[in-house]
Structure 1
């Protein structure tokens, strides 16, 4: 065969291979987007922003009888809201799932290694109660490895701390559901979209900061955490919530850029933690016997998962791209969307809403049981910190 003919064949094969790759990519994007009918979401980017060779946040849930890592009765800090086993959840299979990334293995969380590597340091979670969910999970995971060490617990508002005294390691949680400040002015709660100084003074000196916000921006009525918003020197009874959130997150971003020394402090942002109140989001177009997460006992199959990207994360992504300080996004949204089975539902210490008498009307499909899904968030956190 002549050299020219060989070259033509090679070029044809190369073109065919590229067309196959493009076709496969199109089919993947089409699969993720074809069932997305929620006007409050836009399509999730296929490529992770962190550009890791290992796609930590894409994969599947695998049943694993070696889980959970700890028992709820053996951890001293689980709030009643998250303690599903204590409050009567009859099933336990939801505890026995391990996250399997698509192209790598996660190291198992080792509390002793965590304490040795973090000796003399402070890890602080800042945000809403989903941050508290993760804060308590990290304590439980670590405590299970060293249950006899000396500890100190300080529960207060807005700052709670848990110290492993023998290692001089502090795990802290600061409640700031909007990140920015809320001041009381003439009896009204003023959400100050461009002021973060009061909250941020508590964060100074932390070695690792994990931020989150999102859920409270959509609260209205009695669950709304403010009376008026302040922006640009003016007060507003209300405004587009995503515009307000973006203003607040930009305020946070400016604080990070001006105050964080990346040689001393690592900054993370926890992506939006999904809820499971609408079964159409996980039914794949089939029957929807439940009205919410109540009674759900297994993860969503990846084959019916539609893949959505919350507007709250679009806001965060926009601000992160404007910042000069590198912030690592712990992208737990997709893997958590698969876990419709992992919420407290009616099995929490909250008796005020009559959950058990109205399981289809008042379950908690926002927070997560402990042990449970937040342990995987922390396994991913542990992996990113040390590997």
Structure 2
């Protein structure tokens, strides 16, 4: 009997141990869960606070901060689709500090660019950049920013429409990031993507369908046009280029620029699906062709520049405030008609970056003369931008609006 009693006691003791172990495991699980939820809550609260700060922040007012730990966001030599016009390191530039500047708005921080997050947002969608070679540079930057997150066998590049439309595709996401060459947005005699240098520029300011058919169905559209309008006046054609009876008239700037943007805006109002497409317009990209404007020697330009302009609010003569106002007014009118367009105001922040241009460090499409070789500043490119560099920040701004729709408009 005693032996049997001992067995019963042992069994009860074993059950008690199991029960206590289960309680301990449950308590531990509850503690871990509480810690996890607290951390998640803190992280969510932190993200919410960051988003709130972004919504109250002027993203375009700030300063450049040197950051050689986080920047550049990609390596020039690792970008499969880098343009030789923008690959400054490849073509001999030794000072690479232009790659290490981060844009810091005064009241907030820009969200860190996350290629996977952007590609998820672009899943089954088209993003199209439409405009001139500066917009093409921004497109190349965007492709460089995301393509390292896509396996080599799952990404492609193709060109159609006589070379005007370039399409990068991330197969896994069924997403495309495209560039369409339309330097004046409306139809012109400069529309060929290669042979577009003409003595007299002529535009059909009321004709845009030839271009627009290639980007009508895009989900995100990023437009720009400014560089090709920088002249006193331009020929305007009523009628087709093939029509000998067409009417030609020379129209002064800024009026002809406004006429073209009104055609663009009217087309958007009629044809854009407001429930589907997000619209952006990138403001004018500044040039740095006259060093005396920032205190340098007269006759010099961006050649040999290695530092940025430190004067707060600096504005060079290469940027035209009256043309900027035209853009702002056209966009404001569109917004008033219920079609929302976000202006990416990159002008001021780019004004400071006189050292960010390719200068002489790019592929030269035409052989250089002995006179040019003896005076390199004469062929320095002070219009476009080295990559990695300034256009990456333009895309960080674009990214902020795409990933946080509450910021937009």
User: TM-score scaled to structure 2, two decimals?
Assistant: 0.75
Gaps of 5+ in 2: 1-53, 191-199, 240-244, 405-409
Gaps of 5+ in 1: 1-50
- Return the match for 2:304 from 292, 295, 299: 295
Could you tell me which residue of structure 2 aligns to residue 230 of structure 1? 237
Is structure 2 residue 320 aligned with structure 1 residue 315?
Answer: no
Instruction: Map Cα deviations across residues 263-314 of structure 1 (whole Å, 9 max, x no partner).
Output: 100000000000000123322xxx5377111111121114472577633212
Instruction: Map Cα deviations across residues 141-181 of structure 1 (whole Å, 9 max, x no partner).
Output: 00133354511211342111000011111000000011001
Could you tell me which residue of structure 1 aligns to residue 207 of structure 2? 195
Contact 1:181 1:196 in 2 (8 A): yes
**Does the C-alpha gap of structure 1 residues 311 and 350 become closer, same or farther in structure 2, counting only changes over 3 Å?**
farther
Could you tell me which residue of structure 2 aligns to residue 160 of structure 1? 166
Contact 2:290 2:298 in 1 (8 A): no
Contact 1:207 1:265 in 2 (8 A): yes
Is structure 2 residue 142 aligned with structure 1 residue 138?
Answer: yes
**Does the C-alpha gap of structure 1 residues 256 and 358 become closer, same or farther in structure 2, counting only changes over 3 Å?**
same
| SS of equivalent to 1:238 | strand
**Does the C-alpha gap of structure 1 residues 353 and 229 become closer, same or farther in structure 2, counting only changes over 3 Å?**
farther
Contact 2:166 2:179 in 1 (8 A): yes
| SS of equivalent to 2:332 | helix
Could you tell me which residue of structure 2 aligns to residue 63 of structure 1? 66
**Does the C-alpha gap of structure 1 residues 93 and 147 become closer, same or farther in structure 2, counting only changes over 3 Å?**
farther
Aligned residue pair count? 327
How far, CA to CA, are the matches of 2:230 and 2:320 in structure 1?
Answer: 16
| SS of equivalent to 1:162 | strand
Contact 1:272 1:310 in 2 (8 A): no
What displacement does 1:105 show?
0.7
Could you tell me which residue of structure 2 aligns to residue 383 of structure 1? 400
**Does the C-alpha gap of structure 1 residues 94 and 239 become closer, same or farther in structure 2, counting only changes over 3 Å?**
same
**Does the C-alpha gap of structure 1 residues 356 and 269 become closer, same or farther in structure 2, counting only changes over 3 Å?**
farther
**Does the C-alpha gap of structure 1 residues 57 and 358 become closer, same or farther in structure 2, counting only changes over 3 Å?**
same
How far, CA to CA, are the matches of 1:126 and 1:116 in structure 2?
Answer: 22
Structure with more of its chain in helix, by fraction: 2
| SS of equivalent to 1:81 | coil
Could you tell me which residue of structure 2 aligns to residue 346 of structure 1? 360
If asked which structure has higher relative contact order (CA below 8 Å, sep 6+), I would say: 1
- Return the match for 2:288 from 264, 268, 276: 276
**Does the C-alpha gap of structure 1 residues 147 and 358 become closer, same or farther in structure 2, counting only changes over 3 Å?**
farther
Aligned alpha-carbon RMSD (Å): 2.6
How far, CA to CA, are the matches of 2:312 and 2:297 in structure 1?
Answer: 16
Could you tell me which residue of structure 2 aligns to residue 247 of structure 1? 259
Could you tell me which residue of structure 2 aligns to residue 29 of structure 1? none
Task: Tell me which structure has the larger Cα radius of gyration.
Answer: 2
